[in-house]
Structure 1
């Protein structure tokens, strides 16, 4: 049965995402995407008048799918700091996945020619993660919004280093298997992240009210 309406649109976005990841934005033609989606160019252009519009729609689809996989920190554990640990660990786990790692590479590759599209990808993967973590820190740890954002950025940066550059340069391979949250403790060194969280964000009893160690 031929796909129509929203079903066809979603199918085109999935096909386009795979094409962009494999060949990059510049080398991926609308002809190739139409062929991969097994639809006509007329149908493709009816949904997406330009390749830029299609790429932006792919970014928004990734935003929704990535957000569903990450969820929010408070959903990981009842204890606020352990929730932070597992949330950061989940982010690191997802970065190992080829679908996410290749998207990071794509954003870097297109940053000079297509800065708006690249910054959109950055926001989907890193901006969204930092904002959700900062929001959790405001609620769970009582930090002011600006301090929570700084702490969230620091924690994410410490968590992903040195793995992210090793993945980007191919020193460590990306994994093709979808990373299941049930395997988080096996896939990620959560004890390392706990130590980092303990340094950057000590328990409330360790510092005077309203302050945090540098």
Structure 2
């Protein structure tokens, strides 16, 4: 395999190239088998550049998880823009379930790779808080009228429910489809938001 030319791009572009290469490597090989040298080569950076930006595989994985989280949240926010609060809940839940099922990296991170989940589990409480705050803010912008504490509590229940469904999938296969996720959210989650 021919070696790619080294990148002499600005640090931000190098970091983006490293994250793209890491996404491909972690998706293909998983955490344990992922090779930092392969990531550097694919990104077109030296090993020293890679390790200067990300001192370990765990640091790189956490940066990738954060980048994936930010992109996913931005997608959910765009998808719910202009919707009423209850409709936004349904759309976000459906879109989130679809993203996790269809995006190979998200699927590996959330459902398949126990090592990734083991590493990110230490951040679960922080993750739940971050998602809760972002979603509650989005729902408030969509017109949710309930008090802040009640909105945050309802959203936290939604987030914890999503995590539970992902970690221990339902035996009801209909819930695994976008239409099933939409029906579940419309019947049980949307009524919690007003």
Residues 60/110 of structure 1: CA separation in 2 closer, same or farther (3 Å cut): closer
- 1:10, CA displacement in angstroms? 0.8
Question: Normalized against structure 2, the TM-score is what?
Answer: 0.70
- 1:103, CA displacement in angstroms? 1.3
2:111 maps to which of 97, 105, 116: 105
2:86 paired with 1:81 = yes
Contact kept, 8 Å, 1:34 with 1:41, in 2: the verdict is yes
Alpha-carbon RMSD across the aligned residues, in angstroms, is: 3.7
- 1:104, CA displacement in angstroms? 0.9
- Partner residue of 2:135? 133
- 1:15, CA displacement in angstroms? 0.8
- Partner residue of 1:193? 185
Structure 1: tracts of 5 or more residues without a match: 175-185, 204-214
Identify, as 1 or 2, the structure richer in helix: 2
Deviation string 1:39-66 (CA, Å, 9 cap, x unpaired) is 3313322333333332232223223212
Structure 2: tracts of 5 or more residues without a match: none
- 1:12, CA displacement in angstroms? 1.0
Deviation string 1:86-136 (CA, Å, 9 cap, x unpaired) is 222222221212222211136743455x4xx44447855x55443233234
> Highest Rg: 1 or 2?
1
Any residues of structure 2 matched to 1:166-181 within 5 Å, and which?
166=169
Give the total of aligned pairs: 183
Contact kept, 8 Å, 2:25 with 2:39, in 1: the verdict is yes
